[in-house]
Amino acid sequence: MGRFTVLDDGSARDAATGLVWQLRPGTALVSWDEALASRGDGWRLPGVDELVGLLIALDPVAPFEHDVGAGGVWWSSSRSPFAPTGLARAVELRPGGTPAVVLRERTCPARCWRVRS
């Protein structure tokens, strides 16, 4: 059995963390404030550590509908205590699938990959 189990509601449970992730990460580009405001039905933005953990675990057999090699930037719910209030933490998936935590202006566009506990 693999690390991720696909559930009937279009999500996948991570056996290592117990978290449930959307199978299809969002493709729309939104600001951090929009990403936080669009929570609902138990879904939320992941913390930066949760998101990095997911992206590190992705491999060709993971059930998610995303091309890891294509890269992308996803918002986390985390802000840096050392950064000005206009910055939030995001995770950039670099070519080859390497995640990197970056600080971005909250008004910059990025994607959302929702999680629930």
Domain of residue 60: give its range. 4-116
* pTM of the model as a whole: 0.86
Sign of the Cα pseudo-torsion (44, 98, 86, 31, in order): negative
Q: What is the pLDDT of residues 92-116, one digit of tens each?
A: 988 777 889 999 999 999 999 999 9
Q: Rounded to an integer, what distance in angstroms lies between the CA atom of residue 72 and that of residue 97? A: 10
115 and 44 Cβ atoms separated by less than 8 Å: yes
7 and 102 Cβ atoms separated by less than 8 Å: no
CATH number for the domain spanning 79: value is 3.10.100.10
What share of residues in the chain are helix, strand, coil (percent, to 5)? 15, 30, 50
Count of structural domains within the chain: 1
